[in-house]
Structure 1
């Protein structure tokens, strides 16, 4: 399975960038990161039935790590080839973008800077992979 992150803003050579890379290199799936400017850009490439789009959005569903892993595992087992995650700019996503997504998720009710959201997503992808493989990284309480 392929994971593609489409993110608004540039992370540069920041501590968050190091954290993102630390987790993404552990993820067993192919992962690509595409940075878009805060406004404009090409948008998501056309998708087919084997692609799912997930947006990190304040109006999204709160999920625990186990449910997130189960959703990814279910898609994987159903033959989904690619997961596309979107992280918006300061204004988030518009209604049309939200409506076109397969899933909206939120990292709690607090607002997070896009650089931190990217690091949190990278860690959750690694955590999901570890849950699905039975690795002891995730310790359910």
Structure 2
């Protein structure tokens, strides 16, 4: 199973990008041994539309165009479920075992994800009830993906 993060906006050079890349590389090292075919990040420019509804629609169209058919969608959504790392690992392991070709993680822009993308998601998840900057959400997601792989591998990184 291939994992893909589709995010609105770019991470500029700096500590957030370095940390995100570190977790992506760590996942690649352990993930391939677990049957995952890699972890990619696709950045989509923010919409320049004047109103929030148009921006969300533009961004949803771009995200949908970047999503392969027959993919499991995971929406990062402030109103999503707060799931623990073990549950998240079980989701990824089950989708891998069910031979899902792609799991796509969607991180919306400043206005969030369109209602249509949220409805299409197999899993909607949040990192608590606080509002987080999009660059931090990306880093936290990549860390959780890496952590999930270590849980599935029985690696000591995850100690609960």
Q: TM-score, normalised by structure 1?
A: 0.93
Secondary structure class of the residue paired with 1:117: helix
Greater than 4 Å deviation, 4+ residue runs: none
Of 128, 142, 145 in structure 2, the residue corresponding to residue 108 of structure 1 is: 128
Please give the residue correspondences for 1:19-98 in structure 2 after superposition, counting only pairs within 5 Å.
19-27=19-27, 28=31, 29=36, 30-39=38-47, 40=58, 42-44=62-64, 45-48=67-70, 51-98=71-118
In structure 1, the gaps of 5 or more residues are none
Deviation at residue 95 of structure 1 after TM alignment: 1.2
CA distance in 2, matches of 1:14, 1:54: 27
Secondary structure class of the residue paired with 2:42: strand
Q: How big is each residue's C-alpha offset from its partner over 1:73-126, in whole Å with a ceiling of 9 and x where there is no partner?
A: 111111112110011111111211111111110000001000000000010000
| Aligned residue pairs, count | 138
Q: TM-score, normalised by structure 2?
A: 0.83
Deviation at residue 46 of structure 1 after TM alignment: 4.2
CA distance in 2, matches of 1:137, 1:46: 32
In structure 2, the gaps of 5 or more residues are 48-57
Matched, 1:7 2:7: yes
Instruction: Work out which of the two has the higher radius of gyration on C-alpha atoms and give 1 or 2.
Output: 2
More strand by share: 1
Secondary structure class of the residue paired with 1:80: coil
Deviation at residue 43 of structure 1 after TM alignment: 2.1
More helix by share: 2
Secondary structure class of the residue paired with 1:25: helix
Secondary structure class of the residue paired with 1:43: helix
